Every structure is written in C-alpha cells, then in structure tokens.
Amino acid sequence: ILNVEQSPQSLHVQEGDSTNFTCSFPSSNFYALHWYRWETAKSPEALFVMTLNGDEKKKGQISATLNTKEGYSYLYIKGSQPEDSATYLCAFTGWGAQKLVFGQGTRLTINP
Amino acid sequence: DTEVTQTPKHLVMGMTNKKSLKCEQHMGHRAMYWYKQKAKKPPELMFVYSYEKLSINESVPSRFSPECPNSSLLNLHLHALQPEDSALYLCASSQEPGGARGQGWTGELFFGEGSRLTVL
C-alpha cells in the first residue's frame, strides 16, 4: 500500500509571512510528484509536477523542491496573501502507474 | 471556469434510491477517473477509464457502477448505498492514460468541482 503523508494537516499564517509544508512519499519506484491547489468550492488545480531529484519549480511566490532519494517534497509560499488560502495536495506516481496517489492535504489559512 | 463539469453539485438520497452522478469534459482527453474523498482524508481512486474502457476498479463495491458512454462522458450509477458512502465524489480527466507499456506517466489531472453526496 502506497503511503503519501503531508504535514502539517492545517496551518494558520499571517498575511505577508512565508510558510512551507511537507509531502513524504515512497522513494522506491518513484516517477513523479505532483502538487495541487484546491480552493474551497472549486476544483483542484495542478501547480507543479516534478520528476528529477533536486528539481525546483516556481510559480509566482510559490515554489517546490524534490528529494527523491529520501522521499520528500517541500512547498514554499513567500509573502502569503489571503488568496493563497487553500488546501494543498501532493500526489505520487510510480513507474508504470496509471494513477496518482494523494496525500490528505495541508489546509492553509492566511489571516489578514 | 473548470473544464470538467460535474452534476449534480449536491445529492441527497435514501438507501433504497437509484441515482447517477455525471461528468463531462470536452478537452479530448482519453482517460477519465472517479475519486472519492471523505473529510480530512486523501482523495481515493475508485475507477479509471482509458479510451472508454474500464482499466482500473479499485475493489469498489458493486453498489457503485461506472459507465463511459463516450469519450466525453463519465457516469457513476448509485444503488442501495450506505450512509458511510456519503462523501465528495470527484471526476477527473487526463490527456492520456498512464501505464503505457511500463513507461512513466506525469499525467496532469483536470478535476471537476465534485458532487457532494449524502446518503440518509
């Protein structure tokens, strides 16, 4: 059974502060790691997909890193804004897989 | 606006009812998915359709019956559900299915907003 763990489960941050959270995944048979952003009452939207150890991706003030040898990825948000409030999901794909296995998400709330 | 449309957004049904959830995409994607999500849990895969054929059934009870009438539509037929089946049901699509000839797959999933199901 594949286990994808995210921590923390929830996070409250003041507007303007920076924050980060973690996704842990199996390091064996790794192929890709995905990050999704899911705002309340909307659909999850893809942020990043990473495949190589040491990959770093950036979109605006959000960035992500990948360590496939130890099986973790970090998502960073610099200078949080209220519109960054969402649940951030990571998902793992193994080699030859037909599906994404999701973590339970980190629910981020930015306080104005 | 999401390009994957799910209806209805909310559904309340009794344990003896028969209902269906519908999902539609017009992006020309060849794979479609049903996920189930309960509060504070990860989305769990239920079914995958690749090129309109069922390719994965994650040991889902037969009271859930998927159907893919064509490449744009995906249905989930519900019958004799239990209260513990109450959850958010997410539909998703991807351009291509994964697992082709043992190759890697970085397929991005495009999700609908989900159908919130309550079973009384």
Q: Do B109 and A43 touch (CB under 8 A)?
A: no
Q: What is the pLDDT of residue A109?
A: 97
Give the closest of B41, B106, B112 to A49, CB-based. Answer: B106
Q: Is B106 on the interface with A (CB under 8 A)?
A: yes
Q: Name the amino acid, one letter, at A9.
A: Q
Residues of A with CB under 8 A from a CB of B: 4, 9, 31-32, 34, 36, 41-46, 49, 51, 89, 93, 95-105
A61-76 burial by CB neighbour count: b if 16+ within 10 A, else e?
Answer: ebbbbbebeebbbebe
Residues of B in contact with A4 (CB under 8 A): 42
Length of chain A: 112
pLDDT digits (tens), chain B, 120 positions: 459 999 999 999 999 999 999 999 999 999 999 999 999 899 999 999 999 999 999 999 999 999 999 999 999 999 999 999 999 999 999 998 887 656 777 889 999 999 999 999
